[in-house]
Amino acid sequence: METVSFPAGRSAYLALTLAASLALSGCSTGGASGPSRARIMKAGDQTIESAGIKIVDVNDTVARQVSSANQTPLFSQALGEGVAEPTIIGPGDVVDISIIEAPPAVLFLGTLSSTQLSTNDAVRPTTVSSGLQLPQQMVDQNGRLTVPFAGSVPAAGRTPQDIERDIKARLRGKAHDPQVVVRRVTNATSTVTVLGEVAQSGRVPLSAKGERLLDALATAGGATQPIAKSVIQVTRGDRTLALPLRTVVSDTRQNVILQPGDVVTVYFQPYTFTALGATGSNAEIPLEATEVSLSQALGRVGGLQDNRADIKGVFVFRFEDPRALDPNLIAGARTTPDGRIPVIYRVDLTNPATFLVAQTFPIKNKDVLYTANAPLTDFAKFVNIIASMTYTVVNLGATVAR
């Protein structure tokens, strides 16, 4: 059997050619953590019309516009501080009515007593006048009460003092100098409803004190989930506003006075963003607030990997509120069912000014923060593949030659 041999130089050349061919054929399937910067930019150009994906370079103007548009309205701004409402009687409320008549009593012959202290501190009953304690009664669906000798008295929408004056006027000329005391026993109308992740959902009555948001939450037993992961929502009329519970606890201005009919809902909302690519950590990162800045987000994932990251290829993938975008970008863009636009924000960290911009650009809940591999990283992988395969082929050729 004749052994075929190649000159050393030719053998190395053939080995290199074979390795390069194999490496090139496998480039598209080589390991990677995601698309390169060039592929993302190219994809944006190709799909700008078909998919409506917008690629926006982050600068100071963009960062300020996005930050301004994404600010959550505060309770203190949208609802105001509010004032404590006076006690207003409504249908369903239960009231207690006492009618006191100065002697000589004409209509109300019952005796009401009080007590007073004598000079030796002994307690003794003292008759002050004649009067009548009416049975407690509920304000009917028409908002009225029934009082002996006074008839049907309107009560809904009035304060206890208003009702007292009305009854007194109706009894004038029938009773001798009547005095009337009206007191609400059961509050069925001036309430707020507390729902969601609380120990005990239900209606919380409001008083003339002016209960605040955290008062109602405490009455319901407090939130059952951690404060840092809870959101508190207030619905008043046709407006619904929400803030992280942590914000309401830390900023007393957001602990607004509640109004009758408000609905307070506490729900579990763990805010997160996802870091992928050439960052120090690839993971879903929890947020203790509704948002953090881009610089804070990069710090939480351990920054960029020096040996891999393309510092021109830091991207934020987001479904954006149209208010945060330039009107020229919105034209023709596709939107999600809730009216948001898919956007890819590109950050160029080769510019030192970008590090200042990154302190104002917000990272939002459900954002994807992706850092592409540097082009030289892929080239280094390619060279390593060629080198390893070349040595393998050369060694194999040497073995065959022997």
Residue in the block written with tokens 């009758």: 260
Lowest model confidence (mean pLDDT) among 82-86, 117-121, 142-146, 344-348: 117-121
Q: What is the pLDDT of residue 24?
A: 44
Q: Beta-carbon neighbour count of residue 382 at 10 Å?
A: 16
Higher pLDDT, 282 or 289: 282
Q: Which amino acid is at 193?
A: T
Gyration radius (Cα) of the chain, Å: 38
Q: Is 143 helix (H, G, I), strand (E, B) or coil?
A: coil
Is the four-CA dihedral 81, 86, 87, 90 of positive or negative sign? Answer: negative
> Nearest to residue 100, comparing CAs of 33, 171, 19, 27?
171
Q: Is the pLDDT of residue 186 over 70?
A: yes
Give tens-digit pLDDT for 52-87.
678 899 999 999 999 888 778 899 988 988 788 888
> Nearest to residue 279, comparing CAs of 315, 319, 248?
315
Peptide bond between residue 178 and the one before it cis (omega within 30 degrees of 0): no
User: In the structure, what pLDDT confidence band is assigned to residue 196 with cuts at 50, 70 and 90?
Assistant: very high
Q: Which range, 1-15, 63-77, 111-125, 368-382, has the best average confidence (pLDDT)?
A: 63-77
Q: Beta-carbon neighbour count of residue 35 at 10 Å?
A: 17
* pTM as predicted: 0.66
Mean pLDDT of 16-27: 46
Classify residue 300 as exposed, middle or buried by CB count within 10 Å of its CB (0-12, 13-18, 19+): buried
Q: What is the pLDDT of residue 347?
A: 94
The DSSP string of 202-222 is: EEEE--TT--BHHHHHHHTT-
Lowest model confidence (mean pLDDT) among 209-223, 324-338, 369-383: 369-383
Q: Is the pLDDT of residue 178 over 50?
A: yes
Q: The domain 94-186 is classified under which CATH number: 3.30.420, 3.30.70, 3.30.1950, 2.30.29?
A: 3.30.1950
Half-sphere exposure of 30 (CA within 13 A, CB side): 19
Q: Is the pLDDT of residue 225 over 60?
A: yes
User: Contact 271/345 with Cβ under 8 angstroms?
Assistant: no
Q: What is the pLDDT of residue 102?
A: 81
User: Contact 267/227 with Cβ under 8 angstroms?
Assistant: no
**DSSP one-letter code for 49:** T
State the Cα–Cα distance between residues 88 and 84, nearest whole angstrom. 11
The per-residue pLDDT of the chain, averaged, comes to 80
The CATH class given to the 75-82+190-268 domain equals alpha beta
**DSSP one-letter code for 396:** H
Q: Is the pLDDT of residue 400 over 80?
A: no
State the Cα–Cα distance between residues 53 and 319, nearest whole angstrom. 10
User: Contact 350/312 with Cβ under 8 angstroms?
Assistant: yes
Q: Could you tell me the strand order of the sheet in which 309-320 lies?
A: 54-57, 341-347, 309-320, 368-373, 272-277, 283-286
Q: Beta-carbon neighbour count of residue 239 at 10 Å?
A: 10
Q: What is the pLDDT of residue 256?
A: 95
Q: Is the pLDDT of residue 47 over 80?
A: no
Q: Is the pLDDT of residue 18 over 80?
A: no
> Nearest to residue 180, comparing CAs of 145, 206, 208, 227?
145
Q: What is the pLDDT of residue 361?
A: 95
Q: Where are the domains of the chain?
A: 37-71+290-378, 75-82+190-268, 94-186
Rounded to 10°, the helix 375-401/8-25 angle is 140
User: In the structure, what pLDDT confidence band is assigned to residue 377 with cuts at 50, 70 and 90?
Assistant: low
State the Cα–Cα distance between residues 215 and 200, nearest whole angstrom. 14
The CATH class given to the 37-71+290-378 domain equals alpha beta
**Same fold for the domain at 37-71+290-378 and the one at 75-82+190-268?**
yes
Lowest model confidence (mean pLDDT) among 48-52, 227-231, 284-288, 308-312: 48-52
Q: What is the pLDDT of residue 129?
A: 54
